[in-house]
Amino acid sequence: MSDATKPAQNLPSPELMATLVALCKRRGFIFPASEIYGGIQGFFDYGPLGAELKKNIKDAWWQDMVQRRDDIVGLDSAIIQHPKVWHSSGHVGGFSDPMVDCKVSKLRYRADQLFFGQVIVAGETVGYVSVLEDATMQSEADEKALKIKKKLAKQGELAPVQLKSYMDARPEEYALVPSPATGEPGSLTPPRAFNLMFQTQVGPVSDDASVAYLRPETAQGIFVNFKNVTDSSRVKVPFGIAQIGKAFRNEITPRNFIFRSREFEQMEMEYFIPPDDDIWPKAHQEWIQWCKNWLISIGLREELIGADVHPSDKLAHYSKACTDLTFKYPFGEQELWGIAVRGNFDLTQHQAGSGKSLEYFDEARKEKYTPHVIEPAVGVDRIFLALLVSAYYEDEMDGEKRVVLRLSPRLAPIKVAILPLVKNKPELVAFADKLHAQLQRRYNVFYDAAGAIGRRYRRMDEVGTPFCVTVDFDTIEKDNKVTLRERDSGAQTRLSVEELMKTLEDRILGP
Ligand code: ATP
């Protein structure tokens, strides 16, 4: 590895987040939604490059999950389903997060993300501090405690704050914990359940019967179509149904950029297996491994991927096991991809709710059963962010500092940039134009004829374009060849157009 290709850092620093948010805005990856009206919290718009990158993530998943496997088929179900779907699935009754209100500021917090602790000076409790969960909350709490000690002019040793979740607060503590908004105690309510589903009305009359919900996950669309799919395609257990689509959750505290938003996109797959107790553990492990390998294959840094195995006493009553693949984001290690073993809970619920049989006849075994499922469920936006974290480097090339996104060619929003050396030589421009048209039929290509060549390279490095092709005087005067410049190494190779097409195809689409 040359100096230029060495990773610039090991673990993502907390500051990286601000850098990435600024890069996304500056280069057209992601904008706050409705920005000219002041924005709307928890919603984001993907700009020209973001739309490409997001589409490439979804295409890669669909190709590998659906098109390149014989045992998985795709589905695209409606966002709004019959409200009974959400009653049967348990979302109307139980899809909630514990919420705390600050009565003074009118701000809301998730109780499980709000932490508090006593300020203890020389063994005596002199107050309380509160912080919102993140990687630096302990130091933040200790700083706040020190301020309280100074303000009260207390002498003696300040103990490190022992933080605990507001979920574990005793009733008498609710009035003592300061609101994160005002810094004063007395305004926080006890935690209460808040349903995360967005409600809407279907049809012209607005009454109780017209209430409908925006789907909070894509999975239920799969379960309610189980019979349609088995009746219409030739799938046989074990098999999967995959779906990509928008999901909506009225998150109490959307935060960390696109990590937790109110409108996001999911890629979910339900893998149906026979009910026998000895089948699911192996299938579960295989799916965990598949998901991890896939994340690495699209360019997530392996050392930033972890796993969180849910302890059995924390599982939902119907769930047999659940492992989350996590990612070390700049704000801490968080869930990226949940791989759950859901038994036959969902199909059974919809069978009871609809009165329609969702049983499956297994021809090989000559028996009828309600299949069980393994569910790998991941958020596109969380992968998007993990890819940026993995790909962002600051290094030096040709004696110049640069920012580079080392996105894999398969995922990069722009695959190739065509850079004619000058724009005032008609034959040279004509050659570049022709090449542009040829490449555009296959890839998302960018044409840039303005400015110094070094600056044009830097602009492409910053948005992750893996290949730049320059057309120069030699091209038209001598050899009909172009120069292919590689983003990561800066290596330059002289190639004929035919050789270029072949090289690009191998590198972008794979051998
Ligand atoms: P969390 O505990 O972080 O709220 P969850 O366990 O509720 O997530 P699931 O219901 O399992 O999440 O959803 C599957 C996947 O959808 C998650 O692993 C995540 O990648 C993505 N996801 C869930 N909620 C959001 C959100 N608000 N914004 C972006 N992605 C999300």
SS3 235: coil
Same domain, 226 and 330: yes
310 within some domain:
yes
Note down pLDDT in tens along the chain; length 511 residues: 344 444 445 688 889 999 999 999 999 999 999 999 999 999 999 999 999 999 999 999 999 999 999 999 999 999 999 999 999 999 999 999 999 999 999 999 999 999 999 999 999 999 999 999 988 899 999 999 999 999 999 999 999 999 999 999 999 999 999 999 999 999 999 999 999 999 999 999 888 889 999 999 999 999 999 999 999 998 999 999 999 999 999 999 898 999 999 999 999 999 999 999 999 999 999 999 999 999 999 999 999 999 999 999 989 889 999 999 999 999 999 999 999 999 999 999 999 999 999 999 999 999 999 999 999 999 999 999 999 999 999 999 988 999 999 999 999 999 999 999 999 999 999 999 999 999 999 999 999 999 999 999 999 999 999 999 999 999 999 999 999 999 999 999 999 999 999 999 999 998 7
**Distance separating alpha carbons of residues 174 and 177, to the nearest angstrom:** 6
Is any atom of ligand 1 closer than 6 Å to the C-beta of 91? no
Same domain, 363 and 241: yes
**Distance separating alpha carbons of residues 299 and 411, to the nearest angstrom:** 8
Residues in Cβ contact with 296 at an 8 Å cutoff, skipping those fewer than 6 apart? 302, 305
406 within some domain:
no
Report CA(356)–ligand 1 centroid distance (Å): 30
**Distance separating alpha carbons of residues 126 and 333, to the nearest angstrom:** 33
Is any atom of ligand 1 closer than 6 Å to the C-beta of 337? yes
Cβ pair 468, 419 in contact under 8 A: yes
Same domain, 155 and 296: no
Atom 2, ligand 1: which residue's CA is nearest?
335
Atom of ligand 1 nearest to the CA of 260: 28
Same domain, 223 and 352: yes
Same domain, 240 and 372: yes
Is any atom of ligand 1 closer than 6 Å to the C-beta of 379? yes
22 within some domain:
yes
Per-residue model confidence (pLDDT) at position 66: 98
Atom 20, ligand 1: which residue's CA is nearest?
379
Report CA(262)–ligand 1 centroid distance (Å): 10
201 within some domain:
no
Same domain, 383 and 464: no
Per-residue model confidence (pLDDT) at position 14: 85
Report CA(49)–ligand 1 centroid distance (Å): 24
SS3 403: strand
Same domain, 33 and 65: yes
**Distance separating alpha carbons of residues 462 and 454, to the nearest angstrom:** 13
| DSSP state letter for 71 | S
Same domain, 226 and 346: yes
Choose one of 194, 209, 230: the last residue of a domain: 194
Number of domains composing the chain: 3
The residue type of 377 is A
433 within some domain:
yes
Enclosing H/E stretch for 115: strand 114-121
pTM: 0.91
Q: How many residues does the chain have?
A: 511
Nearest to residue 97, comparing CAs of 222, 223, 249?
A: 249
Is any atom of ligand 1 closer than 6 Å to the C-beta of 42? no
Same domain, 241 and 275: yes
Per-residue model confidence (pLDDT) at position 436: 98
Atom 29, ligand 1: which residue's CA is nearest?
260
CA atoms within 13 A on the CB side of 314: 7
Report CA(370)–ligand 1 centroid distance (Å): 27
101 within some domain:
yes
Report CA(266)–ligand 1 centroid distance (Å): 8
The CATH number linked to 480 is 3.40.50.800
Report CA(379)–ligand 1 centroid distance (Å): 6
Q: Which domain holds residue 371?
A: 3-93+217-389
Same domain, 246 and 149: no
Choose one of 356, 374, 389: the last residue of a domain: 389
Atom 24, ligand 1: which residue's CA is nearest?
260
Best probe residue, ligand 1, of 44, 194, 263, 264 (max atoms within 8 Å of C-beta)? 264
The DSSP result for 281-320, as a single string, is: HHHHHHHHHHHHHHHHHTT--GGGEEEEEPPGGGS-TT-S
Atom 23, ligand 1: which residue's CA is nearest?
379
Best probe residue, ligand 1, of 198, 250, 260, 337 (max atoms within 8 Å of C-beta)? 260
Is any atom of ligand 1 closer than 6 Å to the C-beta of 266? yes
Same domain, 483 and 449: yes
Same domain, 243 and 308: yes
Nearest to residue 50, comparing CAs of 29, 33, 31?
A: 29
Is any atom of ligand 1 closer than 6 Å to the C-beta of 280? no
294 within some domain:
yes
407 within some domain:
no
